[in-house]
Amino acid sequence: MMKKILIGIFVFSIYGNSQNLIVNNSKELIIASQIASPGDVIVLNDGIYQGKIIFDQMSGKKKSPITVKAAEIGKAEIHDKIEIKGEYINIEGLSFVENGNLEILGKSIKVSQCIWDDSKSKKWLRILEGSSLIEIGYNTFQNKSYNSQYEKGCQLLQIVVLNQNERHHIHHNFFYNITEGSGNGFETLQLITYQNPFDPPPGHSNSIIEHNLFERANGEAEIISIKSNGNIIRRNVFKDCKGSLVLRHGDNNKVYGNFFSGTNEAKSGGIRIQGSGQLISNNYFQNLGSFGLGMMDGTPDDLYVRVSEAEVLFNTFVNCNNTFEIGINHSKHPNGTPPINCLIEGNIIYFDKSAQKQALIKFVKEDLPIDWRWINNISFGGLNYQVNGIRNVSPNFIFQNQWLLPTQNTPFTKNITTKNKSLIEKDLFGFRRNKKITLGAIQFFDSLQIRMIGNQNVGAYNLK
Domains identified in the chain, total number: 2
Q: What angle do CA 315, 341, 246 make, to 5 degrees?
A: 50
Asked whether the beta carbons of 365 and 333 are under 8 A apart, the reply is no
**Amino acid, single-letter form, for residue 394:** S
What pLDDT score was predicted for residue 16?
Answer: 54
Question: DSSP letters along 389-442, please?
Answer: TEEE-----EEETTEEE--TTS-EES----S-GGGGSB-TTSPBP-SSEESSSS
Mean of all residue pLDDT scores within the chain: 90
What pLDDT score was predicted for residue 456?
Answer: 43
Quick one: 107 and 208 in the same domain? no
Count of H-run helices and E-run strands, the chain: 2, 46
Quick one: 128 and 138 in the same domain? yes
CATH number at residue 140: 2.160.20.10
Report which of 361, 297, 364, 292 is spatially closest to residue 330, judged by C-alpha positions.
297
**Cα Rg, the chain, nearest whole Å:** 24
Quick one: 163 and 194 in the same domain? yes
Quick one: 187 and 313 in the same domain? yes
What pLDDT score was predicted for residue 254?
Answer: 98
Residue ending a domain, among 104, 121, 138, is 121
Rounded Cα distance, 157 and 168, in Å: 13
Residue ending a domain, among 121, 139, 174, is 121
What pLDDT score was predicted for residue 318?
Answer: 94
Quick one: 313 and 423 in the same domain? yes
Asked whether the beta carbons of 224 and 233 are under 8 A apart, the reply is yes
What pLDDT score was predicted for residue 402?
Answer: 77
Rounded Cα distance, 320 and 285, in Å: 7
Quick one: 163 and 283 in the same domain? yes
What pLDDT score was predicted for residue 300?
Answer: 85
Quick one: 206 and 238 in the same domain? yes
Quick one: 40 and 90 in the same domain? yes
Residues of the chain with pLDDT under 50: 1-9, 14, 449-464
Quick one: 313 and 218 in the same domain? yes
Quick one: 113 and 129 in the same domain? no
* 3-state helix/strand/coil string of 375-390: ECEEEECCECCCCCCE
Residue ending a domain, among 121, 153, 186, is 121
Asked whether the beta carbons of 312 and 343 are under 8 A apart, the reply is yes
Quick one: 116 and 139 in the same domain? no
Whether the CA torsion 382, 459, 69, 81 is positive or negative: it is negative
**Percentage above 90 pLDDT, the chain:** 77
What pLDDT score was predicted for residue 240?
Answer: 97
Structural domain containing residue 428: 122-462
Quick one: 74 and 158 in the same domain? no
